[in-house]
Structure 1
């Protein structure tokens, strides 16, 4: 198995929304905000080359929305999905599988592009199977009022219309893609976190259960989460296991750090080390 980081760019979100009830005086130590109280976040995807499959985990925000939409998120930086796939010698047509942790726009928007005009859509990865799960798909296509703005029809429905959509069997011990899946329901229903065996270690793609190293302390829970108390439980259980088993945590949204480990301390689980994926 080979793993490659695929950075798709940076965007900004309100710092208070990203840290919930935690005061700015605390969260700004790890994630400083600009004059508008916005913090920078990565959209860092993972490319898994295994056997005859090229599996991309998530795909970034895409470019289908209008200027008003993007004005809220301040996309910036030189990275893009196209540029960084090509940097590792991969074209869109080479991707066999696009595994989607969940269907919020910053995780799945890059998987669908405009067709002939803005009223038609094509799949970015023409030869790929797109993977969700039936529980989350229903959650996303029949959205609650709190999450409706994050589940965009143009990102989601074309996957089904294309015939390329597949559903992960969450009752199976291992997915068809060859890795284990951890589910988490606090952020959104049935978010899926890939759990991989890599170079004798266990690596977990953290998605929005742990967006950054700044979110390691238990109370640091996003205001976006639909069930914050459940996130606390899920995060506590997972981080204790990660510290005990020395998991490598791959961070999708941390603006600086690609990976980290955690350790047990007198104050609970805390950050241990940070490093790049290619340093494993």
Structure 2
């Protein structure tokens, strides 16, 4: 009976968390749509800085990870399936596994660890120093200038980085297999391009944008939950990372189940 009560409380807490997080996102979007032209100039500057931090500064890590995956994972898939399947089947497997799943999830994990944690610490520190409260007393909405740029930057960067990671992991894996194992694997390039279809591309874009929105919103949400003590910073950072990971894997499972 106690375990059932605990499970019920956990389910209620998760449901309330999702409701609060959704309201947090809607408030940020609504606040951005109502700002005037002068404020949008400052918003654009903040958005550009977030794109640099989230997207461009993450490129080295994504490049290295993509190269490792190309040599260690993609090449293995090509070799194992190449002897028992046609080039079209291998290409379809690469797109399904490496592009639509592996690259999306690994990119999201990198962003959670590098960007999500930094956003939570940054906003949490501002909360402790009362900077956000001071700005709100001046009539500046924190969600407009601190949350919305981060949500947009993380969502778009997740998509762009996943495309970049996919290119390195898949094309790099084919090239590595062709140069170092057998040159017949170069023949997988042509059927690979024909494997990309409209529905698959739409799912890829939607999944990445939703993952990025989850990462950015959970990081900002937990950053604003820091109130009084510096010890709250690591606690909220850990909670943001764990909740983002859980929601991403749940959403990925739901998307896979709905599209199969």
Quick check: which one's helix share is greater? 2
TM over 0.5: no
TM tier, shorter chain? under 0.3
- TM-score normalised to the size of structure 1? 0.22
Q: Hey, which of these two has a bigger chunk of strand by percent?
A: 1
Give me the TM-score of the superposition, normalised by structure 2: 0.24
Structure number with greater CO (CA < 8 Å, separation at least 6) is: 2
Q: Which has the larger radius of gyration?
A: 2
